[in-house]
Structure 1
Amino acid sequence: MLAQRIGLLKSSCNAVLWATAEAVAASGTQIIDLTSGDIWSEPAPSVREGAIIAINRDLNRYSDTIVPMALRHALARKISAETAQPWSADEIAVTSGVEQALFNAAMALLNPGDEVLVPAPYWTAFPVHITLAGGEPVFIETRHNNYVPKLIDLAAALTSKTKAIVVSTPNNPTGAIYDRSTLSGIAQLAIDRDLWIIFDECFSAFAHAPHTHHPIVSVAPRARDRTLIVNSLSKALALAGWRIGYVAGPKEVIGAIDALQSSTSSHPNIMVQHALLHHLECGDATFELQLQRHVANARVLGLSILSTLTSIPQPSAQGGFHFYLDFSGWQQRANALCREFAADDVVNVLLMDAGVATVSGTLFGDPAGVRLSYGIDLELLEKALRRLVATLNTWN
């Protein structure tokens, strides 16, 4: 009865998990949620102020599809400063969150049968949007190289059908940050083979020293005319629920996104548009720096506790606000004993025995990984990770 494409979509990654969590909580166990993709924080004061101003000015009418020029000019100035490249307003499209930005990019670039290289583990939206657009994701294994793709592996996966490469740095779920050499190599590969680069830098505000985030168009300016930058201020300003994102790229692609968006969701929420514009014009970096310090402190705390794990490598957590635990050693030992093992087993045990909710790497194309958020209250984070360590260190 339903369209075949609906079969490509999966319900919320946490739906089954939280059904079990409710049963565990009913027994009196406190469930601590480490599944979050956002930071537990109030939004930036300048953003709240901008939203209130917009409400008081009765700004409730439709706007341009990819939003008025004032916000696009402001974002162009921001991106120009971040990339050391000049950007104009007509190279920017504002969307209802990064998910829509990624969907629009896939729909604007891909034809049926086109292949897209996707390093794995990957954010769940990448393969879904590629497939919905008629393309085919080609997964590139990265676990053997600290979750960063090797150029030789990317080159080996290229075919006459390859249309684009997805680059996600700092990476969700792994927290890996691509170094300049890797980004330069990917850019050159795209230039040589006439490929698009979909550059996801949503966690760029959280690169933890000594690691540094590099926009690919800064490392390789010649790749700019084949790169779509996808980002938002959802993480940096604690606005995940406000649903605002953007795409920066060549004018013809932005025009295509404009046409697509006008026939789907139209423009993002008008109040959020004006709130973000007010922040970009009147705000400063105070809130962002405070949030970055909070996340950095949570990371230090979490790494200290996770260092006491006895049979699992400590995560590097180079960027973002997730720890990614690698259980491939457990998987290999289970296979040697002719037993099955997957990250789902770990997630279930942590929920049932430790009262800690985590995300299985199977969602990200990795049956041996588990993602933990540290963007939560520090006291709860410490309690959750100590429970987790105690459980895993005694689990055979």
Structure 2
Amino acid sequence: MTLADSPALTQDRATAGSRPQRQPLAGRTALVSASETARMRTLGRELAAAGRRIANMAAGELDTPLAAPVRRAAIAAIEAGHNRYTDTSGLPDLRSAIAGLVAEKTGLAWTPAGISVTAGAKQALFNAAMTLIDPGCEVLIPCPYWTTFPTQIRIAGGRPVALDTTATGYLPTPAMIRAAITPATRMIVLNTPNNPTGRVYDAGLLDQIATIARDHDLWILFDECYGALVPAPAVHINLLRLRPDLRDRVVLVDSFSKSCAMTGWRIGYLAAPEPVIRAASAFQSHTASNPNVIAQHAVLAALTTGRAELDAFQADIRTLLAANRALALDILAGLDRVPVRPGEGGFYLYLDLGRLIGRRFADGSPVTDADAVAERLLGEAGVASVPGGAFGDPRGLRLSYAIDGDDLATGLRALVATLNRIA
């Protein structure tokens, strides 16, 4: 008798029709959809691999070689046989080096006990959400927002509350924040420099938001992953340097993905009050176990023996991005009906397509939303972008200018011609 002929399985088949049908997926999967930024980035790469010339402005990463001290240290770590588990929250020496880095940014003393190394900033944000948000809690998020923020809040059982900034220059106002606070509000998310708009929050705005958070006993999740990529004259300000009195309610999230051109290595960190770090580390111990060990050794070297070289690398990146930004704005000035918000930091430009919605493409089909425009740009202009629906704004379009200058110029000229043909 084979296993397939066993009496137990035969009985199961006989009674299967009388049982309630099993649902194939857990209910929480309805809260999550695949990242639109990842989809458009991948689609652009697939078309390029098939032979089309694509200006891939959907990718949220630098089109540059890896920072040299990171590369050398990674090779050395492999040769040295560093292939074992590390502490859940990262190598002690790396946590110490990051504590020093955070001390520089905040002007406050930090110890490794306040640091957790994570598999990119995305895991740091997830750990923070699972640690700080109870079911039913509300979290305020300025909109347009990075698509992962509301998704992770929903996974944690919370309710994201979008603050529409499209009429206020893509910056939240103290008035709109106060109006959105309810007894269920637990936290506010601040992302500066902002993804997708590139806006950088100034000291006055940060100070007002900090006071609101203190008065209403709110946590602040401060995501500064693009903080190292702010060219003059704009200045990125760490919230705790401005308001050290909020140290017990601020959670800092940062990443080495952008600043070291190592997005695929997945290495970031959480800096927070020690009880938060202990709880977040407990969650991490049951998910990732520990961050990538080679990436940890590579970043450790970049922050210690390679720090001067890393600083020079980042200065060169800011110079390159400033040149690309100027080129992009010069070409986009040719747009007829599309305002361009020149973000101060990061490497994104954000287009407001509101005046195109309801018009028609050159072939007569309607312009329904930014998704339709993004599809048309990819098909006709060879430009991969990310439509604003991914960011809670159906009228917006995000363009990354962190790509090769020739591809950037060619792609943007084709984009301008395509959008200007909309009747």
TM-score where L is the length of structure 1: 0.95
Q: Secondary structure at the match of 2:340?
A: coil
Q: Is the 8 A contact 1:234 1:245 kept in 2?
A: yes
Which residue, out of 365, 372, 376, partners 2:399? 372
Percent identity for Structure 1 against Structure 2: 45
Matched, 1:90 2:113: yes
Matched, 1:316 2:342: yes
Quote the offset at 1:17 in angstroms.
4.9
Matched, 1:186 2:215: no
Distance 2:38 2:291 in 1: 27
Q: Secondary structure at the match of 1:298?
A: helix
Could you say if the C-alpha distance between residues 364 and 63 of structure 1 is closer, same or farther in structure 2, counting changes exceeding 3 Å?
A: same
Matched, 1:224 2:215: no
Q: Is the 8 A contact 1:24 1:352 kept in 2?
A: no
Q: Which has the larger radius of gyration?
A: 2
Matched, 1:295 2:321: yes
Question: Which residue matches 1:271?
Answer: 294
Matched, 1:329 2:355: yes
Quote the offset at 1:41 in angstroms.
1.0
- Pairs within 5 Å for 1:96-175: 96-175=119-198
Distance 2:94 2:184 in 1: 37
Question: Which residue matches 1:31?
Answer: 54
Q: Secondary structure at the match of 1:392?
A: helix
Q: Is the 8 A contact 2:358 2:367 kept in 1?
A: no
Q: Secondary structure at the match of 2:150?
A: helix
Distance 2:256 2:60 in 1: 13
Q: Secondary structure at the match of 1:71?
A: helix
Could you say if the C-alpha distance between residues 392 and 11 of structure 1 is closer, same or farther in structure 2, counting changes exceeding 3 Å?
A: same
Q: Is the 8 A contact 1:343 1:367 kept in 2?
A: yes
The one-letter code of the counterpart of 1:168 is N
Q: Secondary structure at the match of 1:230?
A: strand
Quote the offset at 1:312 in angstroms.
1.1
Question: Which residue matches 1:242?
Answer: 265
Distance 2:72 2:38 in 1: 35
Distance 1:261 1:144 in 2: 39
Distance 2:101 2:39 in 1: 40
Distance 1:19 1:68 in 2: 33
Question: Which residue matches 1:66?
Answer: 89
Distance 2:225 2:50 in 1: 38
Q: CA RMSD in A?
A: 1.9
Q: Is the 8 A contact 2:229 2:314 kept in 1?
A: no
Matched, 1:359 2:386: yes
Q: Secondary structure at the match of 2:356?
A: helix
Distance 2:235 2:87 in 1: 36
| Unmatched segments (≥5 aa) in structure 2 | 1-23, 361-365
Deviations 1:133-167 (A, max 9, x none): 01000000001111010110010000000000000
Could you say if the C-alpha distance between residues 19 and 75 of structure 1 is closer, same or farther in structure 2, counting changes exceeding 3 Å?
A: closer
Quote the offset at 1:28 in angstroms.
6.7
Deviations 1:340-379 (A, max 9, x none): 7310121122112211111100000000000111111111
Deviations 1:99-151 (A, max 9, x none): 10100000000111000001100001100110100100000000111101011
Q: Secondary structure at the match of 2:36?
A: coil
- Give the count of matched residue pairs: 392
Deviations 1:167-207 (A, max 9, x none): 00000000011111110111111111110000000010112
Matched, 1:79 2:79: no
Could you say if the C-alpha distance between residues 302 and 15 of structure 1 is closer, same or farther in structure 2, counting changes exceeding 3 Å?
A: closer
Question: Which residue matches 2:420?
Answer: 393
Could you say if the C-alpha distance between residues 167 and 43 of structure 1 is closer, same or farther in structure 2, counting changes exceeding 3 Å?
A: same
Q: Is the 8 A contact 2:356 2:367 kept in 1?
A: no
Q: Is the 8 A contact 1:303 1:315 kept in 2?
A: no
The one-letter code of the counterpart of 1:266 is S
